[in-house]
């Protein structure tokens, strides 16, 4: 996998940009940033209550998701120095990202308790896996997942009537937007530095994309369809953002991006796209 990685020097600008994006005065936490006493689940419909419970379970699986990056990008003596340097640079991102995602889970759990939905407790779920071999695939997957989550939080916020929950969803969606921006930056760098070699791996991610826990959480699809009725949810909406990332990378006209068409093959219920070197879709 060594030759397929970015170098630490190629990755570090994306990490630095992400870490600088939120100054200390703009950070928030579940303990002090919300008027929990005003939270009121009676202002929610049954579907909205179910949506809150669903996304809490998803966010609470952060330990499994974080472990994927720890296993595939280890920071110990099992890897060569060059790989370690890359993984150590990435670790600066993943620990901040994990802290923010864990705060999401805490905020949603705290909302449920404060609003009268009860204490959900931690969800014990099977080990989470991403069956990928190329490093870029982990970032391409997260790019789509983070954008899809951001979109859903924004759309759920638009229909709920509890100001406290709207505040929670606003902060969550802003964090997910920053996470997406980091993943988009990294995928762009892979395309610029490795060109055609990463196109097929990215295409494979999109062709087989499923949201976290879709294959391991019992009743996932029934619950997912229910929350989609509450606030429109279709993870393929996030593909447009991936298309823009690819389009920008192609527009650099790098010699590493050869051939007449960037056949990324974005397949989903509502999307299919190909990319030529001039950046046009077909």
Say whether pLDDT at 121 is over 90. Answer: no
Which long-range contacts does 217-224 make (Cβ < 8 Å, 24+ apart)?
217/57, 217/125, 223/50, 223/54, 224/54
240-256 pLDDT, tens per residue? 777 788 777 766 645 55
Task: Select from 263, 201, 280, 273 the least CA-distant residue to 236.
Answer: 273
166-196 burial by CB neighbour count: b if 16+ within 10 A, else e?
A: ebbbebbbbbbbbbbbbbbbbbbbbbbebbe
What's the whole-number mean pLDDT along residues 40-54? Answer: 93
Residue 228: what pLDDT? 72
Distance, CA of 209 to chain centre: 12
Instruction: Report yes or no on 22 lying in a domain.
Output: no
pLDDT band at 32 (very low <50, low <70, confident <90, very high): very high
- The Cα-based distances of 171 to 102, 118, 162, 164 in angstroms read 13, 22, 15, 11
The answer to whether position 29 is within a domain reads no
Give residue 142's pLDDT. 94
Candidate from 83-87, 127-131, 252-256 with smallest mean pLDDT: 252-256
Mean pLDDT of the chain: 84
CA distance 33 to 189: 35
* 21 belongs to a structural domain: no
In the block, tokens 């192609």 appear at 250
Alpha helices in 116-214 (DSSP H): 135-157, 163-194, 199-207
The tens digit of pLDDT for each residue in 141-188 reads: 999 999 989 999 999 999 999 999 999 999 999 999 999 999 999 999
Query: Are 262 and 247 spatial neighbours (Cβ–Cβ below 8 Å)?
Result: no
d(CA 128, CA 24): 32
Q: Could you tell me the CATH number of the domain that includes residue 97? A: 1.10.620.20
Locus of tokens 């003596």 = 77
In a domain, 243, yes or no: yes
By residue range, what is the domain housing residue 169? 9-16+39-276
Please report the pLDDT score of residue 242 as a whole number: 79
Q: How many domains does the chain have?
A: 1
Nearest to 161 by CA among 31, 39, 35, 33: 39
141 part of a folded domain: yes
Let me know if residue 31 belongs to a domain. no
How far from 111 is each of 56, 220, 231, CA to CA, in Å?
10, 22, 19
Residue 17 has pLDDT above 80, yes or no: yes
Q: Which residue has the tokens 């982990």?
A: 138
Query: Is pLDDT above 50 for 23?
Result: yes
The SS3 of residue 155 is: helix
pLDDT value of position 260: 39
Residue with tokens 């949506």: 51
Task: Flag whether 26 is in a domain.
Answer: no
32-41, 222-231, 271-280 — which is least confidently predicted?
271-280
Closest C-alpha to 168, from 96, 111, 97, 233: 111
- Residue 158 inside a domain? The answer is yes
3-state SS assignment for residue 261: strand
With a CB cutoff of 8 Å and minimum separation 6, the contacts of 25 are none
């Amino acid at each position: 996998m060594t030759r397929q990685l970015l170098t630490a020097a190629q990755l570090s600008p994306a990490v630095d940009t992400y870490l600088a994006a939120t100054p200390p005065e703009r950070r928030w936490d579940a303990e002090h940033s919300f008027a929990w006493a005003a939270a009121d689940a009676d202002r929610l419909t049954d579907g909205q209550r179910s949506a809150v419970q669903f996304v809490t379970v998803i966010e609470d699986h952060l330990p499994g998701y974080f472990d994927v990056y720890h296993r595939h990008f280890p920071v110990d003596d099992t890897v060569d120095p060059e790989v370690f340097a890359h993984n150590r640079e990435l670790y600066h991102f993943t620990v901040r990202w994990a802290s923010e995602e864990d705060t999401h889970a805490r905020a949603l759990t705290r909302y449920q308790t404060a609003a009268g939905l009860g204490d959900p407790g931690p969800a014990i779920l099977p080990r989470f896996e991403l069956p990928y071999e190329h490093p870029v695939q982990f970032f391409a997957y997260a790019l789509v997942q983070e954008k899809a989550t951001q979109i859903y939080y924004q759309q759920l916020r638009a229909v709920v009537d509890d100001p406290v929950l709207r505040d929670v969803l606003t902060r969550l969606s802003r964090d997910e937007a920053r996470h997406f921006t980091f993943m988009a930056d990294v995928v762009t760098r892979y395309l610029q530095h490795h060109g055609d070699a990463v196109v097929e791996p990215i295409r494979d991610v999109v062709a087989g994309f499923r949201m976290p826990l879709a294959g391991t959480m019992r009743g996932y699809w029934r619950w997912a369809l229910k929350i989609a009725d509450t606030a429109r949810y279709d993870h393929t909406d996030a593909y447009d953002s991936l298309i823009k990332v690819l389009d920008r990378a192609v527009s650099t006209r790098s010699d590493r991006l050869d051939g007449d068409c960037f056949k990324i093959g974005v397949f989903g219920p509502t999307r299919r796209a190909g990319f030529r070197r001039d950046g046009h879709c077909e």
